[in-house]
């Protein structure tokens, strides 16, 4: 069992024939991901990257059994693309698009409440289960198969953590880049729950940043329910109060939003906190040697 995506996932790309969709779909196919087709309205019936193109997601579900979708659609149309995927029965929707208006995502979140699907993103690097499926824009060569789960708001720090884990002699079960927008699909807590319940994950790395309550909510859940060692890191320790830093969601609005406050809460909840991203792999290796 793996988290969210695996070798059996039947993946389509919405925005398949566009520049971004073409480039990243090619990388995914080269990695070995089971890309079964793509969607570009008006271009149905064609072939692209030796895969069929469909006009709608529902056609892709019907014709090739698609159950996972990657969205590379411009921001103005991305919310509709997410809702189309959910309406068509796609189980895992990974939205890479950044710059989606917040009010559009409010509408999407409401729309998905009664849908049987998982949204990752938007504005995220995607999800990768090494040697099985790369669904997103991550550099696949960094990720080696193993038993450490990674959940991160930051794409770059996802890759950094994976690299450190591999260099420390371990590997990755699945890495989930949840995205850094104010409103996202899968939260840090939800991703941590997936890893806690995954028998192929033995330890978890949780990378957050200033702003919002996602890391605090996850930490409190871990304190109450956690059964596996967790290493945590919060980016933005030197950010000035009240200023957006990097991601749209990374703005400090109160005392509990600061890096220091989040790190303190994480420690109180039994999480091993890295002061620097350079410590993530080493701390995880130490925890795994203790639990071995």
Measured distance CA(234)–CA(157) in Å, rounded:
10
Q: Which residues are catalytic?
A: 247
Measured distance CA(121)–CA(64) in Å, rounded:
24
Helices (H) and strands (E) in the chain, counts: 9, 14
If you ran DSSP here, which 8-state letter would residue 274 be given? P
If you ran DSSP here, which 8-state letter would residue 224 be given? H
- Give the CB-side neighbour count of residue 244, counting CA atoms within 13 A: 7
Residue pair 257/228 in contact by the 8 Å Cβ criterion: no
How many C-beta atoms surround the C-beta of residue 6 within 10 A?
Answer: 15
Phi, psi of 114 (to 5 degrees): -110, 15
Residue pair 35/163 in contact by the 8 Å Cβ criterion: no
Q: Which of 225, 224, 222, 208 is nearest to 262 (CA)?
A: 208
């Amino acid at each position: 069992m793996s988290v969210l995506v695996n070798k059996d996932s039947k993946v389509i790309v919405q925005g398949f024939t566009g520049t971004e969709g073409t480039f990243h779909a090619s990388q995914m196919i080269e990695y070995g991901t089971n890309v079964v087709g793509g969607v570009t309205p008006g271009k149905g019936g064609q072939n692209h990257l030796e895969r069929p193109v469909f006009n709608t997601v529902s056609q892709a579900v019907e014709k090739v059994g698609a159950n996972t979708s990657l969205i590379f659609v411009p921001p103005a149309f991305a919310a509709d693309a997410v809702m189309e995927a959910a309406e068509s029965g796609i189980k895992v929707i990974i939205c890479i698009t950044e710059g989606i208006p917040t009010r559009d995502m409010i509408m999407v979140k409401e729309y998905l409440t009664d849908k049987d699907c998982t949204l990752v993103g938007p504005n995220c690097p995607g999800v990768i289960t090494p040697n099985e499926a790369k669904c997103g824009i991550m550099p696949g060569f960094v990720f080696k198969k193993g038993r450490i789960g990674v959940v991160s708001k930051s794409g770059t720090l996802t890759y950094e953590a994976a690299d450190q884990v591999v260099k420390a002699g371990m590997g990755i079960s699945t890495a989930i880049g949840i995205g850094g927008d104010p409103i996202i699909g899968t939260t840090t807590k939800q991703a941590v729950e997936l890893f806690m319940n995954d028998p192929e994950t033995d330890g978890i790395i949780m990378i957050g940043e200033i702003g919002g309550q996602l890391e605090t909510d996850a930490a409190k859940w871990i304190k109450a329910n956690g059964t596996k060692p967790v290493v945590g890191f919060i980016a933005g320790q030197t950010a000035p109060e009240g200023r957006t830093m990097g991601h749209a969601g990374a703005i400090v609005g109160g005392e509990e939003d600061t890096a220091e406050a989040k790190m303190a809460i994480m420690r109180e909840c039994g999480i091993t906190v890295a002061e620097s991203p350079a410590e993530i792999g080493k701390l995880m290796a130490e925890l795994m040697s203790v639990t071995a």
